[in-house]
Amino acid sequence: MLAISALLCCALLQPAPAQRAAQDELHLFFTGDLQGFLQHDDRLQHGGALSIKHTLRRRTQTLDADDYRIFDTGDLLSYYYLSHVDSGRTAFAMLQQGGCQAMVPGNFDLTFGWKNLLSLNASASMQFISANLLTESGVPLLPACLFFQRQGLRIAVVGLCDPNMGQTVAERNLSGVQVSDPVQAYSRLAAELAGRYDLLIVLSHLEFERNLALCRVDANPDLIISPAQADSPEEFSRVRYGSGSRTTVLVQAPKRAWAVGHLVCQWQRCDDRCRLTQLQVRHEPLQPDSSEDAALSDLQRRYNQQCLARYGRGADEQVARVDSAHQEEDFLHYTLRTLMHATHSEVALINQGYFRNYPLGERMTIRDVERIAWSNDQVRILRLRGKTLKQLAQRSRSLPAGSNRKLHFLSIQPQETKDRETWTVHGKPLQDEEEYAVVTTQFLSSCGDGYREFADKRYLKSRFLGFLRIISDSQGREVTINELLIRHLCADGIPDLHAVYERRATDPFLTKPLWQLCLQQIDLSWRDVRVANTQAYQSHSEPRINRSAQDSRDLGWMTDIRLKRESPSVQWQSGLWIKYHRTTVLPESSGPLTSRESNLELSHIGDFIRVSSRPRSLTPFVGLRFDSDLSFLQRDLIPSVGFRVGHDPSRSLRLAVVAKWNARNRIGHGGLEMNGTMNQKFFGLALDSWLRMRYLARGAYVERSHERWSLEWRSSLKVNISEHLLLRPGWEAFYYGDYRRSSVARNVQYFLNLSYSRAWKFQYQKFYRREE
């Protein structure tokens, strides 16, 4: 009886055929984010294709070929510097030798263009696959999916690309293709494949939220394998939506290819498909191989030859000295300075993600430059308004500290401030309507990292010529930032990067003055002018209140041209102001007279904005002004010296001691003068106000008819019609009194001006020099 009972117990414990099938294991190995690395790098904790190849071979040598599959989640071909020698072909070949069968193209895989993907697919067992990377006619550029068999189990593997590739991939590399919505592309493909698979696996190069969206569709995938993401689980997660019984498993590849992902799973048949059970995820550590690799050695040799041909130095020759304690800050400063200097730009912008921290000793080689500036993006030169730069600064400040999306900024005449994230150009805050020459990367200029403000760019260029600049070839080869940096480093001998950073306050390039020709306004105006005076003023030399009646036109015109020179210590401005229009004079002793009013003013003024080691809000200035009419009947020379209160160009006040010398009768006297300006914006309009008050003491030779005091006040609204054209309705008042204590003469004007204004910066007008 005991023997019979034992036999019955064993029979009951023996699994049924379906249960035995459920215990069959499937091993899925997956990698990602290799970025063209061929050898593992302990300093960066980044895996390499050679180490991954050896690790995969060792992990699969004990498994039957039918029991495992190997996939990659993209970003294989670039941006490691050696991958640029052969467009990522060596990295691709190494992963294929490790047994990888399918991979989805990531953004970095498009670095060498989509035709490179077709070329690699043409003669390889490993295939790039994507259901939403399409030709212009809407046909998939690559295989949309691949099928694998495993003891009767049908496995379909689908690839899905990032739909936002345009933000990170050069426009020329996507020319001729389009990236469709991945969820819609998957839904259409899943409907076409219905009944043809038992397990559906998606190789996804999408963000976590889009992966969740795939789980919501009716024919949701059984497994999604994606690159490592900060906002998704480390191991794996099960996602189920609605009342359906199907669950999607999400796993992600190890970060920086520092390990190989290994998913061990079993499956059970359920209706017309199978479902995964008994999941286990492991990260297999890489196993470096010390043996020589012929392909890698050949690539190293070709890279060294390329450096010798381009720069005249080998890859491991020193190009700079570095201070390990300040390496990151020094290299960043040199990069931004070089970009501005090479392209004649006022502002340089670059994101933190462009750089990788790669610890060095005291030597920096060409190879080190390309390791640190790992992105090796192209140069883009463009124009941005001050208000757009302010929006970029605000978006950058809102990001958490240490974010790779943070922007680094350098400009000509940067102003030292307590808040290092405050951007200044030419020693002053950004001006909303002023246009600045900006140099940046192709990634940022294409609104990368979410900086949509770059869409407002103008005059985008990518190539330039000249001394130490890369000469464009006949095919229009674009300039890379790394090549630009290395050329400048080689031309500078062996510069000390920390010394360059420490000299930034006295750097001749960063402190050079700005020359600017400003056409402040050319006005065609309609004016209603009324002048009230007494008999004593009718022959006065001041044209705004005299009675020199002449035939004149009904309309008037006015011109204001200024030449400015701005340096860190002195701002100098020379201006020419001419006005001509009709005036009606209303003297007390006679009837109205039609008069021509003209005014010519030539002025020079210099602000000593830095008289000590730091800028102050109260700064001294000197000025010289020549005031006359177009007939030169009035010839007044007015020198001044005083203080300017405030450094904001939109609001300023000048207090000065002045002298007024009449060149007609060679008599002069002195006094006090105040000048104030204010530009205020509200409701989309701009209020422009200007005020001048002057009081002159009577000297020994001053006549009773000479000026004792005067007040000028002008206010107008600015209504923009176009970039340089605007309407300016406003009014202007002039009050004048002499030493005779007679009635005050006044000139009151109401006007409507059609104004044209523009500014030219001589140093920054041309983006590149043409070859002679």
- Give the pLDDT confidence score for residue 120 in this predicted structure: 95
- The full 3-state SS of 691-707, as one line of letters, equals EEEEEECCCCCCCCCCE
The CATH code of the domain at 23-285 is 3.60.21.10
Residue 537, phi then psi, degrees to nearest 5 = -95, -5
Total count of residues recorded for the chain: 772
CATH topology for the 312-502 domain: 5'-nucleotidase;  domain 2 (3.90.780)
Query: Which phi-psi region, left, alpha or beta, contains residue 426 (left: φ > 0; alpha: ψ -120 to 50)?
Result: left
Which residues of the chain have a pLDDT value below 70? 1-23, 230-245, 271-272, 289-291, 416-421, 460-477, 535-536, 538, 541, 543, 546-555, 581-597, 610-616, 647, 649, 700-702, 741-742, 765-772
What does the alpha-carbon distance between residue 321 and residue 319 come to, in Å, rounded to a whole number?
Answer: 7
26-31 vs 68-72, strand pairing mode? parallel
User: Which pair of tokens denotes residue 723?
Assistant: 């970039």
Kindly report the CATH class assigned to 520-756. Answer: mainly beta
User: Which pair of tokens denotes residue 725?
Assistant: 């054209």
| DSSP state letters, 227-279 | ---TTS-SSEEEE--TT-S--EEEEEPPGGG-EEEEEEEEEEEETTEEEEEEE
Contact predicate 36/107, CB 8 Å: no
The whole-angstrom distance between residue 264's C-alpha and the CA centroid of its chain comes to 45
CA proximity to 239, closest of 210, 268, 260: 210
Contact predicate 224/249, CB 8 Å: yes
Domains 23-285 and 312-502 share a fold: no
CA proximity to 725, closest of 429, 516, 445, 524: 524
- Give the pLDDT confidence score for residue 358 in this predicted structure: 84
- Give the pLDDT confidence score for residue 683 in this predicted structure: 73
Residue-wise pLDDT tens digits, 359-378 = 888 899 999 999 898 888 88
What does the alpha-carbon distance between residue 208 and residue 227 come to, in Å, rounded to a whole number?
Answer: 10
Q: What is the pTM of this model?
A: 0.78
Q: Which residues lie closer than 8 Å to 137 by C-beta, 6 or more apart?
A: none
C-alpha triplet 322, 326, 330: angle, nearest 5°: 70
User: Which pair of tokens denotes residue 412?
Assistant: 């000509």
- Give the pLDDT confidence score for residue 770 in this predicted structure: 35
Residue 208, CA distances (Å) to 478, 484, 592 in order: 34, 37, 81
The domain spans of the chain are 23-285, 312-502, 520-756
* Surface-to-core class of residue 221, CB atoms within 10 Å of its CB (0-12 exposed, 13-18 middle, 19+ buried): buried
Tell me the β-bridge partners of 738. Answer: 707
Contact predicate 80/36, CB 8 Å: yes
Residue-wise pLDDT tens digits, 493-513 = 899 999 999 999 889 999 888
